[in-house]
Amino acid sequence: MSGPRPIVIAGNWKMHTTPADAGELARTIAHRIAEPDVVRVICPPYVCLAPVRDALAGTGIAVGAQNIHHELAGAYTGEVSAPMLAGLATWVILGHSERRRDAGETDELIARKLGRALEVGLRPILCVGEQLVERDTGQAAAVVEDQLRGALTGHEPEDLVRGGLVIAYEPVWAIGTGRNATGADAAVMADSIRGTLHELGLPEHGETVPVLYGGSCTAANIGEFMNEASIDGALDGGASLKPDEMAGIVGRAGVTARARRGGGAFREAASR
């Protein structure tokens, strides 16, 4: 690998905030997470993209969308296509477990959305993760591998790397439940994910692709994940709406970013 992978902290606001209050929340958070060593992304609802974009101008914090349609245009009432986000967002979340559950999104559909994102230059955060029953029956790695293959097969490996692919491992049983995987659990899955990327032919065996952890991640437990060499940040839900939580998460991520850049030990970074 030519250099350390970037540390990414992305906040998914889900169906929270309105255009009237999103900008002020974004400004408050921006003041608290002025950490240039960390790639920071805020993903508000569609209707809040413009005020959040304006609030974050000049801060170095990127704006992401939470979803896109799998077609570039057409008769799809209520949908938003990738080209419509021009000037509003530069990142996009794809395949979130709530989209898979609530909208019935399949790996094939997510693969099409990934293609649309790459075509227009949106940097994708591709979410993968298993249900509790799948983990308890020893199927977690196989489920995640199938999701990855389903979403990535058909895309040129070089295009995925050039498009800045990021993978977010979000064990579904740890989302919004207060229960989270351990750092060791997440690290094992991150290694498995990169093994699949290697098999799919990504340059440098997929080692340049950041893998994030998502699932009840907080300022109190972020260190456990950042202490693992294979974990490169977090995709946060509820915590991303709380300035104090985001400050703690991004601050701890910055410690890891500097340690990795300087070749420092990850375990030592956790105690600082």
Catalytic residues: 96, 170
Rounded Cα gap, residues 109 and 22, in angstroms = 30
Burial of 132 per CB tally in 10 Å (0-12, 13-18, 19+): middle
Residue 268 Cα to chain centre, angstroms: 25
> Which is nearest to 117 in space by CA: 168, 76, 152?
152
124: its two tokens:
């994708």
What is the secondary structure of the chain as a DSSP string? --SPPPPEEEEE--S---TTTHHHHHHHHHHH---TTSEEEEE--GGGHHHHHHHHTTTT-EEEES---SSSSSS-TT---GGGGTTT-SEEEES-HHHHHHS---HHHHHHHHHHHHHHTPEEEEEE---HHHHHTT-HHHHHHHHHHHHHTTS-HHHHHHTT-EEEE--GGGSSSS----HHHHHHHHHHHHHHHHHTT-GGGGTTS-EEE-SS--TTTHHHHHTSTT--EEEESGGGG-HHHHHHHHHHHHHHHHHHHTT--HHHHHT-
What are phi and psi for residue 8, nearest 5 degrees? Answer: -120, 130
